[in-house]
Structure 1
Amino acid sequence: MPRPREPSSIFSKRLKQARQDAGLSQKELGILAGLDPFVASTRINRYEQDVHATDQATAKRLAKALGVPLAYLYADNERLARMIRAFSALDATEQERLLKEIEPVNKPSA
């Protein structure tokens, strides 16, 4: 029996992780993202297995359904992905406060 193929793209890995974190089945996620219920599970499975790539509009709907920023699904660095997710969970005031702390004081001139 062949082993299941591991997803190779960042998007595939992050999509699966975010879906599992949200406690959703592949079918539930697909339906929440507006996919036809009859193909929702198969489509999400193929995205997670990196068999098919999503278009930008579908990726946005998936991110929205998962409650994660679209950038999270494409972040190619684990720390950056965690930062994107944590930052998006903050309210606007906290985001601004954090940005002031981490942005350089003396920005290089162009």
Structure 2
Amino acid sequence: MTNPIPVRLKSARKAAGYTQQQLGMALGMEPNTASARMNQYEKGKHTPDYQTMKRIADELGVPVAYFYCDDDLLAELICALGKMDSQKQKEMLELIKKKSE
């Protein structure tokens, strides 16, 4: 099984319009190392710990679960649901439960 984090990180970063250096700096990394660190995450050489992934997710506006999901369709569903308010999420959950019966 391939680690989904590198691919999802690169995709979410690009969708949010960040360069590697900009994202790293937004997370508080030093400007001269931010790009290299983010590149290592996106290449899969290093994997950020959960707290770092949570900060990245918050910065990029995606649920942290998106990075750990190894199914592309489910990952997109997680992103879509993450953009809804809690009431809409509850409505969607009920709809999904009804459809899966």
Length-normalised TM-score, structure 1: 0.83
Counterparts of 1:18 and 1:101 in 2: how far apart (Å)? 27
Match of 2:20 in 1: 26
* Identity value in percent: 40
Question: Do residues 74 (structure 1) and 99 (structure 2) align?
Answer: no
Match of 1:5 in 2: none
5+ residue gaps, structure 1, are 1-7
Question: Do residues 61 (structure 1) and 59 (structure 2) align?
Answer: no
Point out the structure with the larger helix share: 2
Match of 1:88 in 2: 82
The count of aligned residue pairs is 99
Counterparts of 1:92 and 1:9 in 2: how far apart (Å)? 29
Deviation at 1:76, TM superposition (A): 0.4
Counterparts of 2:62 and 2:28 in 1: how far apart (Å)? 16
Deviation at 1:91, TM superposition (A): 1.3
Counterparts of 2:88 and 2:49 in 1: how far apart (Å)? 32
- Point out 4+ residue stretches in structure 1 off by more than 4 angstroms: none
Match of 1:14 in 2: 8
Deviation at 1:9, TM superposition (A): 2.3
**Cα-Cα RMSD:** 1.6
5+ residue gaps, structure 2, are none
Counterparts of 1:33 and 1:64 in 2: how far apart (Å)? 10
Counterparts of 1:61 and 1:10 in 2: how far apart (Å)? 17
Higher Cα Rg, which structure: 1
Length-normalised TM-score, structure 2: 0.90
Counterparts of 2:87 and 2:65 in 1: how far apart (Å)? 21
Q: Say whether the 8 Å CA contact 2:3–2:70 is kept in structure 1.
A: no
